[in-house]
Homo-oligomer: A and B are copies of this chain.
Amino acid sequence: MEPYKVYEIKQSIFQANDDQADQLRQELKQQHTFLLNLMSSPGSGKTTTLTRTIEALRDEMRIGIMEADIDSDVDAAKIARTGTRVIQLHTGGMCHLDADMTRQGLQEFGTEDLDLVVLENVGNLVCPAEFDTGAVKNAMILSVPEGHDKPLKYPLIFQVCDALIINKIDVLPYFDFDLEKVREFAHMRNPNLKIFPVSAKTGEGIEAWCDWLRQQVGAWNNAASPSGLG
């Protein structure tokens, strides 16, 4: 017998927005724009990782950043300092973006001339994972101080992501964080998940992550060309 009871609270219904997401991907393909949806907990280092990513890729492709936040501009202000095109989306209290909100953001931003748009989703491991934003690929950041058990506790986000960035590896010596365990737990959820240990602070590991992203953007934008729309 378990030493505690488990009680299932009734589940609420999330409205499916999969059709809208598929349609948005179709439009992005036509305009040769790759949209990456980047998710994580608050404080995992999304903005710093993005800044490093921009530095590594800005000479090869035209990049735009969509910052989604409850109601602050902290992240957009940071990104703007890199000279990159950025728009701040305010979700008005909402904990995630759905496909329609993402399309609103993209239209307002004007992304026709961009090769790569990164959507920095609201800092939250739960709700953003529930809604397909229409992004071509999903990536998440898990930082060392958060602990290696997170794939056990937040399974869905690990399932829906294509890439997992393990950030803040520079502080590994100060935390009980087992890199092998997190790989094992994450691959239990999603055997195809690509894992990139990085330190956005020191730059370690950023190149491998950027190589993967470069390949994804190239494959999407080139595959779009033969359709005659490019």
Contact in complex: B94, A12 (CB < 8 Å) = yes
0/1 per residue, A60-80, Cβ < 8 Å to B? 000000000111111111011
CA distance A202 to B104 in the complex (A): 48
Give the shortest distance, in Å, between A230 (CB) and chain B (any CB): 27
Asked if residues B104 and A9 are in contact (CB atoms below 8 Å), the reply is: yes
**Identical chains bound together, number:** 2
Give how many A residues have a beta carbon under 8 Å from the other chain's beta carbons: 65
The verdict on A228 contacting chain B, using a C-beta distance below 8 Å, is no
Q: Which residues of B contact A91 (CB under 8 A)?
A: 9, 11
From B7, B143, B144, A87 is in contact (CB under 8 Å) with B7
A147 at the interface (CB under 8 A from B): yes
B-side contacts of A87, CB under 8 Å: 4-7
Complex: A73 Cα to B2 Cα, angstroms:
11
Knowing A42-B41, A43-B150 touch, does A90 contact B3 (C-beta < 8 A)? no
Complex CA distance for A94 and B72, rounded to whole angstroms: 24
| A10 contacts across to B, CB distance below 8 A | 92
| Measured CA separation A107–B94 after assembly (Å) | 30
Q: How far is the CB of A64 from chain B (nearest CB, A)?
A: 10
A160: Cβ under 8 A from any B Cβ: no
- Cα distance, A154 to B70, chains bound together (Å): 7
A74 in complex: contacting residue of B5, B11, B73, B149, CB < 8 Å: B149
Chain A positions 122-165 with a Cβ under 8 Å from a chain B Cβ: 122-127, 130, 143-147, 149-150, 152-156
Q: How far is the CB of A185 from chain B (nearest CB, A)?
A: 11
| 22 pairs, A vs B, C-beta closer than 8 Å | A3-B86, A4-B88, A5-B87, A5-B88, A6-B76, A7-B90, A9-B101, A10-B92, A12-B94, A14-B93, A70-B153, A70-B155, A71-B155, A72-B155, A93-B126, A93-B156, A95-B124, A124-B124, A127-B127, A143-B145, A145-B146, A171-B174
